[in-house]
Chain A
Amino acid sequence: NAGVMQNPRHLVRRRGQEARLRCSPMKGHSHVYWYRQLPEEGLKFMVYLQKENIIDESGMPKERFSAEFPKEGPSILRIQQVVRGDSAAYFCASSDNSQETQYFGPGTRLLVL
């Protein structure tokens, strides 16, 4: 059973470009969570999605950030017009319907030049 997959593992963007981060949950998992880890800090919750629905986006910045989890395909975290402060590791986690345990992917490390 493959774990949570994220791609790309590393992403370099110039200021003003768009970044798209992808997350494929574990097989059988329909709950996806995105977290951001700034350098030297812990993980901060961003958004929680189920298929085709955003359940909790209380941790998402109000502008430039969006997330989706379509019926088919991976979950996407989209950052428009990136700024240097967006440089961080972005982790995706998934869980089954019990939501008891979240399993994390390897992360995408975004560097904004």
Chain B
Amino acid sequence: AQSVTQPDIHITVSEGASLELRCNYSYGATPYLFWYVQSPGQGLQLLLKYFSGDTLVQGIKGFEAEFKRSQSSFNLRKPSVHWSDAAEYFCAVGYTNAGKSTFGDGTTLTVKP
């Protein structure tokens, strides 16, 4: 069974500092990988996704993520965090043509002024 682990429950960074959110997955085949962001009381917004090809993917809002098969990781990064980035971030893995996605438990990001 596939699983997703986000080791960091809560991360605090200063505005302008760099950010890396970790995501590790367990899956037997080539995964589809996603990062979503959720603001309080809101739905999930897709930040970026990886299916195949270039292992460094660019997303919206200045985010990027790198797929590392050897480490089963898909970490999310941003060079300079803005106060509006404070939210909860979810990593997810999906099957090929099989419907459901499996989500990590999320990482809450707090941005200090």
CB of A33 within 8 Å of the partner chain? yes
A105 to B43, CA, bound (A): 6
Please report the C-alpha to C-alpha distance between residue A44 and residue B42 in the assembled complex, in whole angstroms.
17
The reply on A31 being an interface residue by CB < 8 A is yes
Task: State the CA gap A103–B94 with chains docked (Å).
Answer: 13
Task: Kindly list chain A residues whose C-beta atoms are within 8 Å of the C-beta of B102.
Answer: 45
Given the complex of chains A and B, what is the CA–CA distance between A42 and B105 in angstroms? 4
Residue of B nearest to A104 (CB): B44
Docked-complex contact A59 and B100, CB < 8 angstroms = yes
Partner of A91, one of B44, B104, B106: B44
Q: Are A99 and B97 in contact (CB under 8 A)?
A: yes
Interface positions of B from 1 to 59, Cβ below 8 Å from A: 32, 34, 36, 41-46, 49, 51
Nearest CB of B to A5, in Å: 11
Shortest Cβ distance from B44 into A: residue:
A104
- Chain A: which residue is nearest B91 at the CB level? A42
Minimal beta-carbon separation of A29 from chain B (angstroms): 13
A41 close to B (CB within 8 Å): yes
- A42 in contact with B103 given A100-B51, A101-B49 (CB within 8 Å): yes
Nearest-neighbour CB distance to chain A for B40, whole angstroms, equals: 11
Closest chain A residue to B101 by CB distance? Answer: A102
| Interface of chain A residues 22 through 72 with chain B (CB within 8 A) | 31, 33, 35, 41-45, 48, 55-56, 58-59
Which A residues are within 8 Å of any B CB, using their own CB? 4, 31, 33, 35, 41-45, 48, 55-56, 58-59, 91, 99-107, 109
4 A-B pairs besides A42-B103, A43-B44, A43-B90 with CB distance below 8 A are A31-B99, A33-B100, A99-B97, A107-B43
Which 7 interchain pairs have the tightest Cβ spacing? A48-B99, A106-B43, A45-B100, A104-B44, A42-B103, A42-B105, A43-B103
Q: Can you identify 12 A-B contacts, CB atoms within 8 angstroms?
A: A33-B101, A42-B90, A43-B92, A45-B101, A45-B102, A48-B99, A48-B100, A58-B100, A100-B32, A102-B101, A103-B46, A105-B43
